[in-house]
Structures are given as structure tokens and as C-alpha cells.
Amino acid sequence: MWYVEICEPGGQIFCPICGTKNIQTDPDFKLTECKHLESITTSLAFGEFEIDKNGIFEEVFTKYNVDHSLEIEEFVKILKQKLGNEFVLFETFAPAPSGASTYFLYRFTC
Ligand SMILES: [Zn+2]
């Protein structure tokens, strides 16, 4: 799995494959799915998955969070080891004071 950090306070997220604007925050928050977007989670609500089409996040979370101490950094590390190169995880940081991270998992498929 590839991993890319983006620091983009504007908060727009485009699918790198088909160009769909998956996340729009201005003027209103809007989520548009495309077939490449697999899963979304945030550090604020880790464990709740906004989108998780094939249950990839859920599966890892359930398996590794048995003692309820799974950190999101560890979660990303497991995904890196587990998923093949057709997956890309984008992490975006919100500016301080929020400091929240949002994670978008894409699958490169035709
Ligand atoms: Zn797409």
C-alpha cells in the first residue's frame, strides 16, 4: 500500500484516478463517492468508518483492537503491511487547533 500525506487546509479531495471531487467543503460539506474510494476514517472518530465499502478498515480494526488500545498510527502501519500496491492511503491534516487527520483509502482499479 502506498501512503501519501497531504497538508491541505482547503479540504478538497479529488480521486487521483477519475478526478471525482470526493470531498468538497465549500460552501457546504459534500461527499461524492466514486468506485475507487474504498474507505474513510478520521482520528476524531477512529473506529467509525464514514465509508468502508469492502470492510477493509472494519476488518483490521476489529482484529487488532481486541484490547481497545489500537492507535491510529498503528492501524496505518498494519494497513501498509496488509494491502497490496493497488491501494493508496491519503492522510490529510486539518490546521491547528483541530489537528485532526482524515484518512482516505483508494483502490486503483479500471
Ligand atoms: Zn475515482
Q: Which of 49, 77, 51 is nearest to 64 (CA)?
A: 77
pLDDT average, residue stretch 79-99:
88
Where in the chain are the domains? Answer: 2-7+35-107
76, pLDDT greater than 70: yes
Q: What is the dihedral of CA 35, 91, 49, 85, to 10 degrees?
A: 50
**Cell numbers given for 26:** 465549500
Q: How far is the CA of 14 from the centre of ligand 1 (A)?
A: 8
pLDDT band at 100 (very low <50, low <70, confident <90, very high): confident
Q: How far is the CA of 90 from the centre of ligand 1 (A)?
A: 14
Tell me the one-letter amino acid at 32.
T
pLDDT average, residue stretch 11-38:
91
Q: Is 47 left (phi over 0), alpha (psi -120 to 50) or beta?
A: left
Q: How far is the CA of 65 from the centre of ligand 1 (A)?
A: 30
Q: How far is the CA of 67 from the centre of ligand 1 (A)?
A: 35
Contact 8, 17 (CB under 8 A): no
